[in-house]
Amino acid sequence: MTNKEEHAIVLDFLSHGYPFDKRPSHKKTPIAQALGKTTLVLLELVPKKDIFLQPYEEVYIGEGKRDKIHHILGRIVPSKLTETARKELEFVLDDLIMKHPAEFIGFINNAGPINMRRHQLELLPGIGKKHMLEILERREEGPFKDFNDLKERVKQLPDPEKIIVRRILLELEGNEKYYLFVKG
């Protein structure tokens, strides 16, 4: 698997650059804050001249010819996100999980132990030993088909989609020892 991102989803677009940038407005660069679609990393993008981007817009940022993005400034941490981008991030993650559930259910179906005392499933917020053991028990009956199947077979499990969103948000902060979803 490659760590190069091909597509990003715009979280916020600042057509006049950052408001705290003290340079004269003719020297400021428009900036887009975005989430990498497969690596789930936060990125700062510089659009091509006279391009206006919308939140939730998917843009190509791969190696080939880009139609809207001039270049990638780099990765950013959640604390550098604008208020708008911060609010949109959770909705964008929710949407990605709902559009690509197989990848996330695949994690639950294939998660294994980290060491003798800890399992990958326990790294998910709200999943303790009891839920982890029940998930493993139900998984032996056969892999989970989707989130509804997981919810039906594992009783009193908190909303798995929200659990995954919360885990991704924790990983984006950059302070986790183990990364389950954010790559790169």
What CATH number is associated with residue 142? 1.10.150.280
47 φ/ψ angles, rounded to the nearest 5 degrees: -75, 160
In a domain, 151, yes or no: yes
pTM of this structure = 0.90
Q: What was the pLDDT predicted at 3?
A: 62
CATH code assigned at 32: 2.40.50.140
What distances in angstroms separate CA 24 from CA 16, 18, 21, 46, 153, one per listed residue?
Answer: 10, 12, 8, 18, 59
Domains identified in the chain, total number: 2
For the chain, give the number of residues: 184
- Residue 181 domain-assigned (yes or no): no
CB 181 within 8 A of CB 40: yes
Are 42 and 34 within 8 A, CB to CB?
yes
- Checking if the pLDDT of 184 tops 70, the result is no
Tokens 């139609």 belong to 67
**Whether 123 and 165 share a structural domain:** yes
Res 1: pLDDT:
37
| Separation between Cα atoms, residue 24 and residue 21, nearest integer Å | 8
Write out pLDDT tens, residues 30-48: 999 999 999 999 999 999 9
Residues 136-165 have pLDDT tens digits of 999 999 999 999 999 999 988 889 999 999
